[in-house]
Each structure stands twice: as structure tokens, then as C-alpha cells.
Structure 1
Amino acid sequence: MTIILLIEQVLNGLQFGVMLFLMAAGLTLVFGVMGLINLAHGSLYMVGAFAAAAVAGATGSFLLAMAAALGAAAIAGVIVEMLVIRRLYDRDHLDQVLATFALILIFSEGTRWIFGSFPLYLNIPPYLSGPITLPGDIQYPLYRLVIIGVGLLVAAGLFLLISRTRLGIRIRAGESDREMIAALGVNISVLYTIVFALGAALAGLAGALVGAIQSVQVGMGEPVLILAFVVIVIGGIGSITGALVGSLLVGLTDTLGRTLLPVLFGTFMEASAATTVGAAIASMLIYILMAVVLIFRPTGLYGAR
């Protein structure tokens, strides 16, 4: 393996990681502040992707498509929170799992009814398409670098929101002692709706960004949701820093594992067998990573003790 290929795979891992961060950040906020297990978070990712593809197809504007993804996912999140989720805060986690699983089915069938069963495609705009030359004459797709940049900007914005704003103070206080901030006059219902809408918007943005490099189809959010849960377990529930670190670890581990393990096994077995064995082990690496982290840090890397 050449050093150029290795650097390209590291960048692919970073791009995958920041996409997972956009999913996991909203999920960890919802779970940390509300104590809610939301299996329907992947459906909001799908809503953002379909909204972006539909608006881009109708207007030809990529920026409008991104705005539509944010708005549609946030609005869907507010509606879901007010009609369904608000009734689950004081219920058992099993009730939350069953209710949000039902939402997955509703979103999937509703999306299929509106857009059909065939996938949609969101084209990368000309000003973001093509490769860019990095130091060392490395050719890398500009759009993937944009995804990395957007993810890091969102991470910085979330850190500032949580640490420097009044809303962030309320979110952190709600995570620590929701009864106390309610007694101090903070409207918990409004706070929960804002947090849920923020998490939904981030999931919708992730779906829109990824929709330009893969097809937009019903059910696309569930595999990403599983990885997002792995991320917040590794990083620690309720921690934005943990979500970022965990996302990058998962992204790099998965991408480099799928690239390096077949090469490693290829040194002492046939190429076809090495590819099969390497891919099988690579698919387990992120779960092995999660198990190792939980052995030494049961609450995650940045989770509260």
C-alpha cells in the first residue's frame, strides 16, 4: 500500500466520522438531556435526504436543498416531539423503544407513499465536484473535503452553543437536574422541543450531505443509526466532545480496517480469501473497539462517572 492511498483512506475515515458526528451529536443531546431512547433518529436523517433530493430536483439549487433538509428535519422533529415523544418522558425505556420503533415504520411507509420505492439522486454541484490537489500531489474529491469542513464547523458551533450561550447553560442544567431548572422558571417543554429540533436538524443535514455521494432511499437511516449508537456509547452519553471523538474513532477504525486488513492477510493467504476474511473482521472492528472502551471506561471516554 502506498502512502498516498493511506492518506486518502484516512481522509475517507474522517469524512465518514464527521457524518457520524452529525448523527450522534443530536442523538446524544436528546438522550443526555431528555433521557429518551429515540430509535426514530435515523428516520429524520432519511427525511433530510429526501427533502434535499426533492428540492434540488425541483430548483436545481444545492444550497436550497441543504436549507430544505435542515428545515424539513427540524419541523418533522418538532411535530414528532409534540405529538408523540412528549408523552414518553416519564415512561419506561421499553415504551420509548416501542413507540419510536413504530415511528420508524410510519416514516418509512409515509416516505414510500410520497416518493415511491425507487431511489432518488442528489447531484453534486459543479463548483463542488471534481478532485482537488493536496500537498504531495494527492488528488482527493473536493466534496468530501467540504463534508469534513462542514462537520468540523458544526462541531465548533455546538461547542460554543453549549458552553457560551444561555441556551447551552439551560441544556447543561437540564442534563444535570431538570427538576431544579423547572423550579427556577425554565419552561422544560420548550427546552425539550428546541433540543429535539436541533438534533433532528443535524440528522437531516447529515442525510442531505451523504445523499449526494450515495442514493437516497427508504430505510437509509437505520444502518447509520446503529453506528451512531456505537459512537455515543464509546464517547459517553450527553457529551458533545465524546460524540466527536467517538465518531472520528469509529470512522477511522472502520475505513482503515476495511483497507488495511485485506492487505495484511494477503501476505500469507490467497488474495480472494484475504479479501473475504479481512472484510469480515473489519466489519467487527468498531464493536471490538466499543467493547474495549467499555471494559476500561464503562461510561464512555467522556461520559459522567
Structure 2
Amino acid sequence: MDIATFLVQCLNSVQYGLLLFLLASGLTLIFGIMGVINLAHGSFYMLGAYMAFALSPLFGDQFLVMLAVGVALAAVFGYLLEWAFYSYLYQREHLQQVLMTYALILVFEELRSILVGNDVHGVKVPPWLEGSFALGDVMSYPWYRLFASGACIVLAVALYWVVNRTKLGMMIRAGASNRDMVRGLGIDIQRLYRIVFAAGVALAALAGMIAAPMSSVYPGMGGSVLIICFVVVVIGGIGSITGALVASLLVGFVDTFGKVFFAELSGMGIYVLMAIVLIWRPEGLMGRKA
């Protein structure tokens, strides 16, 4: 492997890992704070991809505006969904949460089939991000993938700042550690849950919108990323944003280079990584011991 090919694979690993982080950060917040095993999280990723397909003809070259509108719509949808459905799951057993959120997957898939159909769709890369730049004499790398990585880095920094430097973040971290104490301090835990859930849905939908121009928009696409998201959450530690970032990048590198060097065994790589981490640190890389 020459240096240009190695560099391209490194960029692919980082881009994939950062996109996973957008998905997994919302899931680890929801799971860590609300205690809900949300199997429907992958459906929010699918929602974002289909929103990109539906909104792109309306906004044309205004790709950033389209992303902002899509995130706002997803946040409102998440807030209403928590109020209408998830607020009834907190006191339920995990098995009931699994069954009820799996039922949501079926509902979302059926609604998608009715509204959009079962065809595979594509979303065009905005004109100002078309093309690629040279990496060496032969290799090149698309500008859009570089934009996707940069956007994810900006969002990761913003999320870190919100969680660690703001009053809302302080409440989120306290809720993840001891929700009874948060209630005792007079904080409206129900409102906090809705904000966290809306943010988780918005992050997943944004990941789907960013990923749509790089891949097809197709039925069932949420299911393919759901298991990997849970792997990231387990490796990083439940409730840890920093752990989700580190785990996402690790999974990105293991998966990408596993396909390069061990194509036949590449599907095992991330699960071997998870097993090693859990043997070494059962609570995850950044998780807290019970």
C-alpha cells in the first residue's frame, strides 16, 4: 500500500467514524440519561436521508439551509414523539422497551413505503462541493467527503461545548449520573428528557442527511447502522459523549482497514474490538463503574 492509498483510507476511516459519532452520540444520550433501549434510533437516520431526498429539489444549491431546516424539523418531530410515546416507557422493563421501540421501526418502515415507495433514490452532491482534489499522482479524494468530515468535527466540538460548558450540559451530565438527585434539585426532568430526545433525533437525522449524497437512500437503511451504533455506545461507555467519539473513530479505522487487509473477515473486526474492550473495561472506555 503506497502513501496516497493509505492516506485515502485514513480519510475514509475518519469520515466514517465521525458520521457514526453523530448517530451514536444521540443514542448514548438517550440511553444513558433516559434509560430507554431505543431500537428505533436507526429509523431517525433513515428519516434524515429521506428528508434530504425530499428537500433537496426545494432548496437547490442551498445545501446548508436544507440541513438547517431538516435538523429543525427532526428536532420538533423528536420532541413530539417523546411526548406522545417515549414518555410512557421510562418505568417499563427493558424487554417492553425493546418490543415497543421495535414496533416503531415497523411503523416507520410502513409509513416510508406509503409516502415514498420502495425504490432506491439518490441525492445529488451540491454543485459547490462537486469534484475532488489530488492526493499524489494517481489518487484523488472527493470534496464532499472532506466537507462531511469537517461538518462532523464542528458538530462534535459544539456538542462537547454544550455538554461540558453550559447549564443545560450540566443538567444532562447530572441526569446521566443520578436522575433522582436532579429531580430533588427542582429541575424539570420531563422537559430535560424531551430536549435530550429531540437532540438525539436531530443528530441522527443530520447524519442521514449528510450521508445521503454519499450513498443511496433505500428502504431499511436504518437497520444497517443500528447495531453498529450500539457497538459504539458499548465500547465508548453508556452516557459518555467523549467515549462515543473515541469509539466511533476506532470502529471507523477497524472497519475500513479490515476491509482492505482482511476482506473475508472484515465483518468480524468491530465485534472483536468490542469483545477486547469489554474484557479489559466492562464499563467501556469512558464509562463509569457502577
CA distance in 1, matches of 2:169, 2:132: 38
Q: Deviation digits for residues 112-145 of structure 1, max 9, x if unmatched? A: 1111111222100111111123588852111111
Structure 2 distance, partners of 1:232, 1:136, is 39
Which residue of 2 is the match for residue 131 of structure 1? Answer: 132
In structure 2, what is the equivalent of residue 269 of structure 1? none
> Is the Cα–Cα contact under 8 Å of residues 132 and 141 in structure 2 kept in the other structure?
yes
What is the CA RMSD across the aligned residues, in angstroms?
1.4
The letter of the residue matching 2:28 is T
Residue in structure 1 matched with residue 35 of structure 2 by the alignment? 35
Alignment of 1:137-286 (within 5 A): 139-261=140-262, 279-286=263-270
Instruction: Note if contact 1:108-1:218 (Cα within 8 Å) is conserved in structure 2.
Output: yes
Q: Deviations over 1:52-102 (max 9, x none)?
A: 110102332322331232123222212221111100001100011011000
* TM, length-normalised to structure 2: 0.96
- Measured after TM superposition, the shift of residue 183 of structure 1 is 1.9
Length-normalised TM-score, structure 1 = 0.91
1:300 is the counterpart of 2:284: yes
Amino acid at match of 1:29: L
Aligned length: 288
Over alpha carbons, which structure has the higher Rg?
A: 1
Instruction: Identify the range of structure 1 (151-160 vs 132-141) with the bigger mean alpha-carbon deviation.
Output: 132-141
Residue identity matched to 1:19: L
SS in structure 2 opposite 1:212? Answer: helix
Deviation at 1:191, TM superposition (A): 0.3
Q: Is it true that 1:97 corresponds to 2:98 in the alignment?
A: yes
SS at match of 1:72: helix
Aligned pair 1:4/2:4, yes or no? yes
Unaligned runs of 5+ in 1: 262-278
Residue 272 of structure 1 corresponds to which residue in structure 2? none
**Identity across the alignment (%):** 50
Q: Which runs of 4+ in 1 moved over 6 A?
A: none
Is the CA contact (8 Å cut-off) linking 1:77 and 1:196 kept in structure 2? yes
User: Can you give the 5+ residue segments of structure 2 that lack an aligned partner in the other structure?
Assistant: none
**Residue 59 in 1 paired to residue 43 in 2?**
no
**What is residue 23 of structure 1 aligned with on the other side?**
23
Q: How far apart, CA to CA, are the structure 2 residues paired with 1:34 and 1:135?
A: 48
Q: What SS does the aligned partner of 1:132 have?
A: strand
How far, CA to CA, are the matches of 2:68 and 2:16 in structure 1? Answer: 21
